[in-house]
Amino acid sequence: MAPVDYDAELWRHHEVLVRATRVRPADRVLDIGCGTGQTTRQAARTATAGEALGVDVSAAAIARARELARAEGLGNVTFEQGDAQVHRLPPAHFDLAMSRFGTMFFADPVAAFATVGRALRPGGRLVMMVWQAREHNEWDVVIRRSLGAAAPAGPDPFSLADPATVTAILRAAGFDGVAFTDVREPVHYGPDVATALAWIRGFTCTSEVLRRLEPAAAAQTVERLRRALAEHRRDDGVWFDARAWIVTARRGREGTPAAGATVRW
């Protein structure tokens, strides 16, 4: 049974993001919430005369990203552990800030994007992929239905789903030219039901629910998940419909948050 990981789950989204970022040979690229660095390394391979920096809060992910970059012989890519909301970044240094589902969990999104904006040169680009609303993402709907009413709230991966909210956040953080592109690509949970079930059982929301349940109830919940996954099995694996946004913006010439800006949601 071949394992699945986050990069394998999102490989169709990865291809969309690569096309949207349009990395140029001399670009300096910042990758926000880079995970194990697939998107950062891709940017570095294209920016042959530039560089790429990946930042993520997970020490384990950063360690793995460094291992993979060394194995690929990439000399123009670096990785740093940190929260992009407060991480010290060189001012006006980057041409492009990018992210693949790495910007939805900021405690203070205006402050976080202002930090990113200050690291961009004036007119520098932001290109990020975020999930659309929960009801448009079959993977979340089906998993939560299978877990039942006990499913925990937890961090919200859909916090940047609303274009009006995101536009207000980015403008308050000093960006302009905010635009949205609809992305309709499925997520891949593995080549078979057993692999997909093992992957989903590793999700925080799933493991927390199963941990709280009595053994018999936990077994019933796992069986509901297995049946739901079987219904989404195709010849080439287990797939769920998904909807995302590609959000693009540019750092304003001033590059600072609007004075007294307040964002409500």
- Mean pLDDT, to the nearest integer, of 87-115? 96
pLDDT above 60 (res 239)? yes
| Nearest residue to 53 via CA among 64, 43, 67 | 43
Q: What pLDDT is attached to residue 261? A: 43
pLDDT band at 264 (very low <50, low <70, confident <90, very high): very low
SS3 per-residue string spanning the chain: CCCCCHHHHCHHHHHHHHHHHCCCCCCEEEEECCCCCHHHHHHHHHCCCCEEEEEECCHHHHHHHHHHHHHCCCCCEEEEECCCCCCCCCCCCEEEEEEECCCCCCCCHHHHHHHHHHHEEEEEEEEEEEECCHHHCHHHHHHHHHHCCCCCCCCCCCCCCCHHHHHHHHHHCCEEEEEEEEECCCEECCCCHHHHHHHHHCCHHHHHHHHHCCHHHHHHHHHHHHHHHHHCEECCEEEECCCEEEEEEEECCCCCCCCCCCCCC
User: Cβ-count burial of 134 within 10 angstroms (0-12 exposed, 13-18 middle, 19+ buried)?
Assistant: middle
Antiparallel, parallel or unpaired: β 244-251 and 237-240:
unpaired
Q: What is the mean pLDDT of the chain?
A: 92
Question: What's residue 252's pLDDT?
Answer: 85
Q: Is the pLDDT of residue 196 over 60?
A: yes
Q: Which residue is listed with tokens 């997970």?
A: 58
pLDDT for residue 204: 86
* CA pair distance 164, 168, nearest whole angstrom: 6
Q: Is the pLDDT of residue 258 over 70?
A: no
Q: How far is CA 158 from the centre of its chain?
A: 11
Q: What is the reported pLDDT for 153?
A: 63
Instruction: Answer whether 201's CB lies under 8 Å from 207's CB.
Output: yes
Q: What does the pLDDT average to over 73-83? A: 96
- The tokens describing 171, both together, are 């403008």
Mean predicted confidence (pLDDT) in 45-56 = 98
Question: What are the domain boundaries of the chain?
Answer: 6-134+153-188+242-251
What's the CATH number for 6-134+153-188+242-251? Answer: 3.40.50.150
Q: Does pLDDT of 205 surpass 90?
A: no
Mean pLDDT on 186-210 = 93
Residue 151 has pLDDT above 70, yes or no: no
Using CA atoms, how far apart are residues 107 and 52, in angstroms rounded to an integer? 25
Task: For tokens 């992210």, name the residue.
Answer: 99
- Structure tokens that stand for 207 in this block: 């493991």
Q: Tell me the mean pLDDT in the region 214-232.
A: 95
Please state the pTM of the whole predicted model.
0.91
Share of the chain above pLDDT 90, in %: 84
Characterise 113 by phi-psi region: left (phi > 0), alpha (psi -120 to 50), beta (else): alpha
